[in-house]
Amino acid sequence: MSGFPRSPRLVKGGIVQLDPASGAVRNIIALQYNPDSLTRGFQVQDGGDQHRRRSQSLRFTAPPVETVKVEAELDAADQLEFPDRFADAAQVGVHPQLAVLEMLVRPTVDQLVAADRSAAAGSLEILPMEAPVTVFVWSAARIVPVRVTELSVIEEAFDPALNPLRAKVQLGMRVLTVNDVGFAHRAGGMFLAHQRRLEALAARAGTAAFPALGVGGVT
């Protein structure tokens, strides 16, 4: 935040992990620097051309499949200037931050051991432990439950012990909807809250957003 009294407070984007049962916060992953861009894609769910009847041409079968991609940067340079205050950065660089991100796409050791024990006991169906609810936070207007689908890391600088000091991370996510988890699941409720925020924002735009269009699409 700058020294000007009326300057806006910088809000960091990031990821929050919640307990699926209680909703308690398990982990907060704040991006070190807010990325300059965010890529979003939508795949409309309308049943497909082969199954669409003329009366269903204007109907949706489910919320769209929404994907989000974001690039983040990690840099230990600032922390390395104060090794007494940031001992981890001096010892292992950005390894801890990278490890937190990697755990978004890895099962825990306890989950792996539990699955192995269930298989050894002859269980016909092994039901893995439910993962925390992962929530992507990008301003108060965009708080959505997601499933991390892609993670790529480019490490660019290393200390003498080969600990990474700087890295670029590309994170791909799929927004979870009620079609994925149901209405009763905590993630489903969060998606509905996000949808309501979208509808409220769209209502604020009104017809002024497209002044060249008239009623019914007549210019």
pLDDT in tens, 137-174: 999 899 999 999 999 999 999 999 999 999 999 999 99
Min mean pLDDT across 121-130, 182-191, 195-204 is at 121-130
pLDDT score recorded for residue 7: 47
pLDDT score recorded for residue 21: 85
Instruction: Report CA dihedral (130, 135, 136, 138) to the nearest 10 degrees.
Output: 180
What would the pLDDT profile of 52-70 be if each residue is shown by its tens digit? 565 566 788 899 999 999 9
pLDDT score recorded for residue 119: 81
pLDDT score recorded for residue 131: 82
Output the pTM of the full model.
Answer: 0.82
Closest CA to 178 of 159, 165, 166, 196: 196
Mean pLDDT value across residues 5-22: 76
Mean pLDDT value across residues 31-44: 92
- pLDDT surpassing 80 at residue 11: no
Residue scoring higher pLDDT (213 or 20): 20
Closest CA to 146 of 111, 181, 98: 181
Determine the residue type at 50: Q
pLDDT score recorded for residue 9: 54
DSSP structure string for the chain: --S-TTSPPPPPPEEEEE-TTT--EEEEEE-SS--S-EEEEEEEES--GGG--GGGTT--SEEEEEEEEEEEEEE-HHHHT-TTT-HHHHHHTTHHHHHHHHTTSS--HHHHHHHHHHHHTT-SS--PPPPPEEEEESSTT-EEEEEEEEEEEEEEEE-TT--EEEEEEEEEEEE--HHHH-SSSHHHHHHHHHHHHHHHHHHHHGGGGSTT--GGG--
Confidence of residue 49 (pLDDT cuts 50, 70, 90): low
Closest CA to 145 of 173, 183, 184: 173
Residue scoring higher pLDDT (174 or 210): 174
Min mean pLDDT across 83-87, 108-112, 117-121, 128-132 is at 128-132
- What integer best gives the mean pLDDT of the chain? 86
pLDDT score recorded for residue 155: 97
Mean pLDDT value across residues 193-197: 96
Confidence of residue 113 (pLDDT cuts 50, 70, 90): confident
pLDDT score recorded for residue 2: 44
Rounded Cα distance, 109 and 105, in Å: 13
pLDDT score recorded for residue 57: 67
Write the CB contacts of 77 (distance below 8 Å, at least 6 apart in sequence): 165, 166
Write the CB contacts of 6 (distance below 8 Å, at least 6 apart in sequence): none
